[in-house]
Amino acid sequence: MPSSADRAPTTRVPTIIVQGGAGANPAEAGDYRQGVRDAALAGWRVLADGGAALDALERAVRALEDDPRFNAGRGSVLNRDGAVEVDASIMEGDRLQCGAVAALSRIANPITVARRVLESRRQVLLVGEGALAFARSVGIPECDPASLVTDRQRKRHAELARQPATRGGGTVGAVALDRNGTIAAATSTGGTPGKLPGRVGDSALIGCGTYADSSIGGVSCTGDGEAIMRVVLGHRALRYLKDADDPDYAAKVAVDLLVDEGGGQGGLILIDWRGRVGFATSTRLMPVAMMSPALDEPRVPF
């Protein structure tokens, strides 16, 4: 297996896989299908034109953030105080460059802020007001916070007040391999419903919700953030991928780790350095869609 440092420019078969959250309600599978399909296609168009994995991911994840059916960007769950606070991260696997934001308000597409953090090369993770100030400084417009709140999440918040629960659902993410052999991964979420203001989940943490190493693969996780953080799921999943050389098997073993040692539920999507995809979840539904040159249209296996 080549190391990313040694890797000469290659021609690889581009591939993208996206996920729409391990907490998705199976009764709403039809709604999610169109959303993940469209996101995979949006990212795929970039890869098919010879574009970079990071550009493909940003396009795909923005499509999911803009789709109110998913718990990211517009449509995010509300925190204890009824506000949207989002987390997102993105990583490219050639030079292990990464960027992330957490507990960020007033921004419709947090994945783009995370990407700008990556490009800044000065820091990896910015939170709260500092992240918002950074977004302003790089010209990303603030939005009216009310525009991120959907009726569905407002109702859910009211129900939560009567019957507390902690499960999230609908976190979004994507992993892509481009023609140059670069693998990148990205994740974006509103977090868990009713969370304390300032709570940060796995989706903002490199190695937990997101990881990419072009010599091994890339991964985006979804599910119980605290459990994912306890087992550093993203990084562990890539260790399994390196050892097993089998993306589906690595994904299953990683989910077992999340359940058995992390004590939580969730799932993940993977691409290995050859362009093979894998995914697994311990939940009833994790919307997934993938696209590669072998397919006429995105495969939506749920």
Query: Residues in the site for ligand GLY, rule: CB under 6 A?
Result: 168, 171, 189, 191-192, 201-203, 222-223, 225
Integer Cα distance of 63 and 72 in angstroms = 10
Nearest to 113 by CA among 62, 78, 154: 62
Known catalytic residue at 171: yes
Two structure tokens written together for 206: 């490199």
Rounded to the nearest whole angstrom, what is the least distance from the CB of residue 223 to ligand GLY in the complex? 6
Of the two residues 99 and 191, which places its CB atom closer to ligand GLY in the complex? Answer: 191
Rounded to the nearest whole angstrom, what is the least distance from the CB of residue 56 to ligand GLY in the complex? 22
Of the two residues 203 and 281, which places its CB atom closer to ligand GLY in the complex? Answer: 203
CA 227, chain centre distance (Å): 16
Rounded to the nearest whole angstrom, what is the least distance from the CB of residue 28 to ligand GLY in the complex? 18
User: β-strands 125-127, 217-223: how paired?
Assistant: unpaired
The CA distances from residue 274 to 91, 146, 183, 186, 228, in Å, are: 18, 43, 10, 19, 26
Integer Cα distance of 176 and 170 in angstroms = 20
CA 300, chain centre distance (Å): 17
At which residue do the structure tokens 């907490």 appear? 23
DSSP 146: G
Q: Which residues contact 220 (CB under 8 A, 6 or more apart)?
A: 19, 173, 174, 175, 185, 186, 187, 209, 210, 234, 268, 269
User: β-strands 288-291, 277-281: how paired?
Assistant: unpaired
Of the two residues 153 and 192, which places its CB atom closer to ligand GLY in the complex? Answer: 192
Three-class SS of residue 210?
A: strand
Of the residues 171, 187, 189, 192, which is catalytic?
Answer: 171
Three-class SS of residue 265?
A: coil
Rounded to the nearest whole angstrom, what is the least distance from the CB of residue 210 to ligand GLY in the complex? 11
Of the two residues 57 and 72, which places its CB atom closer to ligand GLY in the complex? Answer: 72
Integer Cα distance of 173 and 76 in angstroms = 14
Of the two residues 182 and 210, which places its CB atom closer to ligand GLY in the complex? Answer: 210
User: β-strands 86-92, 15-19: how paired?
Assistant: unpaired
Of the two residues 4 and 188, which places its CB atom closer to ligand GLY in the complex? Answer: 188
Rounded to the nearest whole angstrom, what is the least distance from the CB of residue 19 to ligand GLY in the complex? 11
Rounded to the nearest whole angstrom, what is the least distance from the CB of residue 88 to ligand GLY in the complex? 10
Integer Cα distance of 196 and 81 in angstroms = 8
Residues annotated catalytic, as ranges: 171
